[in-house]
Amino acid sequence: MQLSVIILNYNVRYFLEQCVLSVEKAIQNLEAEIIVVDNHSSDDSCAMMRARFPHIRLIENKANVGFPKGNNIAVKEAKGEYICILNPDTVVAEDTFEKILNSQLPTPNAQLGILGCKLIDGTGNFLPESKRSIPTPWVAFTKIFGLYKIFPKSGVCNQYYAQHLAENQSGEVDILVGAFMVMKRELYIELGGFDEDCFMYADDIDLSYRALLQGKKNYYFVDTTVIHYKGESTVKDGTYMKRFQEAMNFFYQKHFKVSHFFSFFMKIGILFFSLVKRFQGKVPPKPAPEKYLLVSDNEAIQEKLTAVLQKSVERTAIENGKIVISQTISKSKPTEVILDVDYLGFKKAMAFLEENKNKSLTFKLLPPSSSFIIGSNSSNDRGEVIQI
């Protein structure tokens, strides 16, 4: 078997369903398997999996055992030469895994460590944590005090997000994000998997770093793009920054000499971040859509959405390979674009998000043969599901 895709779920039933649907499309030309591990969700994630995907291996833990242990349990059951650690709040393209496995990186390459790819959020914007550097005390300091934003062109201050590589430039990086990691199963086992003592936000840093210590090279691969609805797992508030501090402290205690100086400045950074957030206030949400545009060839879906949303739903199709949005739509009142994945496919839907990012539009996907639309207007807030 070429590949085992491992999805660890906790209480994101609809995101999980969409994720599994996208993975099924992406492995249809491969010898591959999907393993879903549920960390004792209180929603109906497991019932959904049994009803909609009875052919997929489902491991139901009796408690929330955390991210590291949950993935370690699944890898023990995996049969693929390669494994992909995948968040449930992600969407992969139909050719994601084929592009990776058919690239020059995996075979033959004895030095290959962990491979990550370009991640975007539900608005089509690039997620900079797709590629990172080793968080030395100085690098972590520049992150928590936001120096990388103040001095974006400084080689001294912009190391955290591995800015030696551009967003669309493949190459070696130190640290990859746990939302999407591909590696040989043999390497994962050799490294001992994720450290089950890890604090949140340190597990992927720790695993990436241990691969480097083994003489492996980690890669950022831009020939495929994956959506990560990051707000489902990471809301950036004071709690996030506190956990970031704990993660860095864990990483340093494990791999470097403990620095009380570093811990002191991290605490100062947490205080600074909290004060900034207090004065800034919450970022106002985007206005609720007043109009909807459905990209589909299915008139019945248009009628159903009109009834559920109780607002105007216009419909457009692909012309000459492109989705055409009229000037009246793009310049009108707040508009949400609903992308019928049965019609477009996941890859074209993602490309549309990227092409139309930062415009006065919001987006939702209608997954194949599903009774809901799903999306997120910010990488800092949780997404929205509307049943139809």
Q: State the pLDDT confidence band at 276, using cuts at 50, 70 and 90.
A: low
What does the pLDDT average to over 226-254?
72
- pLDDT exceeds 80 at position 359: yes
pLDDT, position 155: 72
- pLDDT exceeds 70 at position 273: no
166-180, 186-200, 275-289, 317-331: which is most confident? 166-180
Considering only 29-38, 47-56, 137-146, 370-379, which range has the smallest mean pLDDT?
A: 137-146
Residues 206 and 237: their CA atoms lie apart, in Å, by: 23
pLDDT, position 253: 81
Strands (E), the chain: 3-9, 32-38, 57-60, 82-86, 90-91, 112-120, 171-173, 180-184, 217-228, 291-295, 313-316, 318-319, 322-323, 335-340, 361-366, 372-375, 384-387
What does the pLDDT average to over 316-332?
73
What average pLDDT is seen over the chain?
A: 88
Considering only 60-69, 279-288, 322-331, which range has the smallest mean pLDDT?
A: 279-288
pLDDT digits over 60-95, tens only? 999 999 999 999 999 999 999 999 999 999 999 999
Percent of the chain's residues with pLDDT above 70? 86
Query: Which long-range CB contacts under 8 A does 248-256 form with residues at least 24 apart?
Result: 248/135, 248/140, 248/202, 249/199, 250/197, 250/198, 250/199, 250/202, 250/206, 251/135, 251/202, 251/205, 251/206, 251/209, 252/137, 254/195, 254/206, 255/206, 255/209
Q: Which of the two residues, 341 and 282, has the higher pLDDT score?
A: 341
- The residue among 2, 26, 11, 95 whose CA lies nearest residue 382 is 11
- pLDDT exceeds 60 at position 333: yes
Q: State the pLDDT confidence band at 239, using cuts at 50, 70 and 90.
A: low
pLDDT digits over 209-237, tens only? 999 999 999 999 999 999 999 765 555 55
Q: State the pLDDT confidence band at 35, using cuts at 50, 70 and 90.
A: very high
Q: Which of the two residues, 103 and 19, has the higher pLDDT score?
A: 19
pLDDT, position 265: 67
pLDDT, position 254: 87
pLDDT, position 331: 62
What does the pLDDT average to over 191-200?
88
pLDDT, position 264: 74
Q: State the pLDDT confidence band at 117, using cuts at 50, 70 and 90.
A: very high
- pLDDT exceeds 70 at position 282: no
pLDDT, position 317: 87
pLDDT digits over 148-170, tens only? 777 776 777 777 888 889 999 99
What does the pLDDT average to over 112-118?
96
pLDDT, position 143: 73
- pLDDT exceeds 60 at position 374: yes
